[in-house]
Amino acid sequence: MLIALLIILAYLLGSIPSGLIVGKLAKGIDIREHGSGNLGATNAFRTLGVKAGSVVIAGDILKGTLAAALPYLMHIDFHPLLAGVIAVIGHVFPLFAKFKGGKAVATSGGVLLFYAPLLFVTMLAVFFIFLFITKYVSLSSMLTGVYTIIYSLFEQDTYLLIVVTLLTAFVVYRHRTNIKRIINKTEPKVKWL
């Protein structure tokens, strides 16, 4: 019974549409009707600006972190990475936003912030290095996912390796339209680097 409650809570946490909430409160808009139409942090930055975008990405990260912490908070024998994956599913298919959410990047990072803080810190560094080189947020996100797999190969943690591999595959799948735009050279580049 408690495990079922944990699963529901993790999914509901992931389902909190940070981009939609912040867009409505900060600018009075639905960000799904602007930019890429995505609820994720990248579209929030482009549509709402740096301050509001920062709040969105913090919200998306923290819901992954809190979901991964649920087994400890509820004193349940349930792997935190599995709870985190459930939140990522909630983020991508949110109950509160007609099951159309973000691309799993920030919430996946939030799960790792709880479970493997050093990996999270190095991921941030790797992401910004790739972003500086490529100027593509989408490509940098996918390459950072590949980095997490490589990092996990050197850890003696089978759960971590399996989960980051699944999350990276999911992130790449969610970015398939971005991949086409990168190939066609129509993917937007960041302008502040």
**pLDDT at residue number 43:** 85
The residue written with tokens 């560094």 in the block is 125
**pLDDT at residue number 124:** 96
User: Using CB atoms within 10 A of its CB, is residue 191 exposed (0-12), middle (13-18) or buried (19+)?
Assistant: exposed
**Which amino acid type is present at position 63?**
K
**pLDDT at residue number 193:** 63
pTM summary value:
0.93
**pLDDT at residue number 32:** 86
Could you read off the pLDDT tens digit of each residue along the chain, which spans 193 residues?
899 999 999 999 999 999 889 888 888 888 888 877 788 888 888 888 889 889 999 999 999 999 999 999 999 999 999 999 999 999 999 998 888 888 999 999 999 999 999 999 999 999 999 999 999 999 999 999 999 999 999 999 999 999 999 999 999 999 999 999 999 999 988 887 6
**pLDDT at residue number 145:** 97
Residue 1 is classified by DSSP as: -
Instruction: For residue 110, give the nearest of 90, 136, 96, 128 by alpha carbon.
Output: 90
| Element containing residue 37 per DSSP (H, E) | none
How many Å apart are CA 169 and CA 46, to the nearest integer?
Answer: 25
Alpha-carbon torsion 36, 42, 43, 46, what sign? negative
